[in-house]
Amino acid sequence: MGYYQDDLRRYPDYASCAYDLRHMFNVTGVAVSPVKGKTLAGLLLGAWKIAPLIRATTGIPINVTVGRDNSLTAIGRDRPNQVLADPYPASKSPTQWINPAAFVPNPTGTFGGLGRNALRARGSLRVDGALSREFPMLERFRLEARAEGFNVINHANFSAPSGNLSSATFGRITSAGDPRILQFALKLHF
């Protein structure tokens, strides 16, 4: 009990799951420097490996709720009615991703007509990468130098906006994912 807006009518709750990503693109690879030889250029530029990882996704679903028990069922999953054809503002931005004027609370004693997870959050783009090289030291020792970067292009990946119609932050994005993170490591193989 309590998962559905109305336990007696479950069909309005048939929708995408909360983590449904409709489109996802991943690409990764490893490239090794083609420079070889015992020359200065070969010693400095040879044997480096670069490994990028790119991930782009569409946004996750947003479940808009009223934030009050207008249906008087004590379940508290009431959804509003949509009164504008387009629930998004003309120019979407993190400060207003959903247009609050597009919804009205459901009347007392009724259920709202908006479906579960009917809206979508903003998509994301991540570019991570690693640069590494192994340096032979002695017969059985190798030193690996490695640099890794997460969100290398420092792209703002915003979280989903608030879906509670009663909240002062309804439709606004109030948080984001991590900024660029760099780390460096040395590893001794023996």
In a domain, 6, yes or no: no
In a domain, 183, yes or no: yes
pLDDT of residue 103: 95
12 vs 78, more confident: 78
Q: Which of 116-120, 147-151, 179-183 has the lowest mean pLDDT?
A: 116-120
In a domain, 51, yes or no: yes
pLDDT of residue 54: 97
Buried b (16+ CB within 10 A) or exposed e, 38-48: eeeeeeeebee
User: In the chain, pLDDT over 70 holds for what percent of residues?
Assistant: 98
Assign residue 106 a region: left if phi > 0, alpha if psi is -120 to 50, beta otherwise? beta
What domain range includes position 136? Answer: 11-189
In a domain, 2, yes or no: no
pLDDT of residue 1: 37
In a domain, 4, yes or no: no
Average pLDDT, integer, range 17-34: 92
Q: Is the pLDDT of residue 7 over 50?
A: yes
pLDDT band at 44 (very low <50, low <70, confident <90, very high): confident
pLDDT band at 46 (very low <50, low <70, confident <90, very high): confident
Q: Is the pLDDT of residue 86 over 90?
A: yes
Question: Are the CB atoms for 61 and 119 separated by under 8 Å?
Answer: yes
What are the Cα distances from residue 99, in Å, to 21, 80, 84, 106, 180?
A: 22, 13, 9, 17, 31
pLDDT band at 42 (very low <50, low <70, confident <90, very high): confident
User: Quick one: tokens of 101?
Assistant: 């004027």
Task: Tell me, letter by letter, the H, E, C secondary structure of 52-100.
Answer: EEEEEECCCEECCECCCCCCCCCCCCCCCEECCCCCCCCCCECCECCCH
In a domain, 5, yes or no: no
Which contacts qualify for 13-17: CB closer than 8 Å, 24 or more apart? Answer: 13/115, 13/116, 14/116, 15/61, 15/115, 15/116, 15/117, 15/118, 16/61, 16/117, 17/61, 17/117
In a domain, 3, yes or no: no
Beta bridge partners of residue 131, listed in sequence order: 50, 147
Query: Can you tell me whether residue 127 is helix, strand or coil?
Result: strand
- What does the pLDDT look like over 95-109, one tens digit per residue? 899 999 999 999 999
pTM of the predicted structure, to 2 decimals: 0.77
Number of domains in the chain: 1
Average pLDDT, integer, range 103-121: 91
